[in-house]
Amino acid sequence: AQKVTQAQTEISVVEKEDVTLDCVYETRDTTYYLFWYKQPPSGELVFLIRRNSFDEQNEISGRYSWNFQKSTSSFNFTITASQVVDSAVYFCALITNRDDKIIFGKGTRLHILP
């Protein structure tokens, strides 16, 4: 069965610190897709990134970076020089080639303190 675990329920860091959000997934399928979404206080889920299982290259987008490691079944998300606007709930998600439904983790609530 497919599963996504975000062990960190809530994290608080001071502004300008770096922070890493962990995501561990489980699947027996060899073809799958991983996602990160941001949910700010307004509620709308904002898509951040999608990676397929054949592309293990790390991704950087501004202050955001993602570390995909198949050996540990992890897809971690790092925010560098955090800002108060980064405060949100972040969801990691998985969909496999055999499923039609995306599996979400329970989310990590991130507080960036000024």
Partner 1 sequence: SQTIHQWPATLVQPVGSPLSLECTVEGTSNPNLYWYRQAAGRGLQLLFYSVGIGQISSEVPQNLSASRPQDRQFILSSKKLLLSDSGFYLCAWSGDSKETQYFGPGTRLLVL
**Contact residues: partner 1, CB under 8 A:** 33, 35, 37, 42-47, 50, 91, 95, 97, 99-102, 104-107
Q: How far is the CB of 102 from partner 1 (least distance, A)?
A: 6
SS3 call for 23: coil
Minimum CB distance to partner 1 smaller for 88 or for 95: 95
**Beta partners for residue 75, in sequence order:** 68
Minimum CB distance to partner 1 smaller for 64 or for 104: 104
Which tokens belong to 11?
């994290």
Minimum CB distance to partner 1 smaller for 16 or for 75: 75
Q: How far apart are CA 68 and CA 85, in angstroms?
A: 25
